[in-house]
């Protein structure tokens, strides 16, 4: 069984542990309304999220390194505002980006981490900057991870293969002794392609990639994750 040799669970944070839409949409609505836009906040968020990933992929493809998670999110915000004809100054955009400091975890996360910590090392493996991740872990998630690994240590965004291999090296483990947990299918695909095991947390009811790197399990949330890994 795939679980027999697992020693560490590596967790994506943005969208998996942290509820991005639930945290940011309440701020997006008033921001748009103040600028005369009647665009639905959920629609705007969906566009922003897609554009953010494009920005990350472009950085990887062009070998620009890790320009910073918050910076690619800012660039994506500027793009989506322009796409929808919403005017906002650079200072207003920067002020709005401060809402990323207020991200909240999904309610099922910490209880599941408490259960899982009895058997596994629990590690954050994230596209965020080190100081940003430290803030989120301590002040928003309020969980003391066994390690917090930023992709900045590799100089590329996930799913660059170096990220997953570096994480295993940092932990002193074989790649196959680590299991990637993510609600972003590309992240599980990236880990599996490098030899990690992987669980897809299907929070958003989205299909998994049609690639030869399937997840070892699919769960609905972190309660299901704990049930799966402790059974």
> Tens of pLDDT along 179-218?
999 999 999 999 999 999 999 999 999 999 999 999 999 9
The pLDDT assigned to 208 comes to 97
Could you read off the pLDDT of 113-133 as tens digits, one per residue? 999 999 999 999 999 999 999
Residues 124-143, mean pLDDT to the nearest whole number: 98
Query: 202 phi and psi, to 5 degrees?
Result: -85, 65
pTM for this one? 0.97
Residue 142 φ/ψ region, left for φ over 0, alpha for ψ in the -120 to 50 degree band, beta for the rest? left
The maximal CA–CA distance of the chain, rounded, in angstroms, is: 56
What DSSP string runs through 91-119?
Answer: HHHHHHHGGGGG--B-TTHHHHHHHHTTT
Residues 12-36, mean pLDDT to the nearest whole number: 98
Could you read off the pLDDT of 32-59 as tens digits, one per residue? 999 999 999 999 999 999 999 999 999 9
Place of tokens 């890994």: 229
The pLDDT assigned to 142 comes to 98
Give percent of the chain with pLDDT exceeding 90: 99
The pLDDT assigned to 50 comes to 98
Confidence band of 1 (pLDDT split at 50, 70, 90): confident
Separation between Cα atoms, residue 87 and residue 109, nearest integer Å:
37
Asked if pLDDT for residue 8 goes beyond 90, the answer is: yes
Give bridge partners of residue 197 from the DSSP assignment: 179
> For the stretch 24-44, what's the b/e string if a residue is b when 16 or more beta carbons lie within 10 angstroms of its beta carbon?
bbeebbebbeeeebebebeeb
């Amino acid at each position: 069984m795939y679980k027999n040799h697992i020693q560490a669970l590596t967790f994506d944070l943005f969208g998996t542990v942290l509820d991005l839409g639930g945290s940011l949409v309440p701020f997006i609505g008033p921001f748009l309304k103040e600028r005369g836009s009647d665009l639905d906040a959920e629609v705007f968020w969906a566009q922003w999220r897609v554009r953010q990933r494009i920005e990350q992929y472009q950085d990887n493809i062009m070998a620009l390194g890790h320009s910073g998670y918050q910076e690619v999110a800012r660039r994506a915000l500027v793009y989506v505002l322009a796409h929808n004809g919403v005017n906002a100054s650079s200072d207003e955009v920067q002020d709005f980006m401060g809402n990323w400091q207020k991200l909240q975890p999904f309610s099922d996360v910490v209880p599941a981490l408490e259960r899982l910590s009895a058997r596994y090392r629990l590690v954050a493996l994230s596209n965020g900057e080190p100081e940003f991740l430290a803030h989120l872990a301590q002040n928003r998630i309020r969980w003391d991870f066994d390690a917090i690994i930023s992709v900045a240590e590799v100089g590329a965004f996930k799913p660059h293969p170096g990220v997953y291999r570096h994480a295993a090296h940092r932990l002193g483990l074989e790649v196959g002794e680590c299991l990637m947990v993510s609600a972003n299918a590309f992240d599980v695909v990236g880990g599996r392609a490098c030899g990690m095991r992987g669980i897809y947390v299907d929070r958003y009811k989205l299909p998994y990639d049609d690639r030869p790197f399937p997840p070892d399990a699919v769960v609905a949330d972190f309660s299901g994750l704990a049930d799966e890994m402790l059974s």
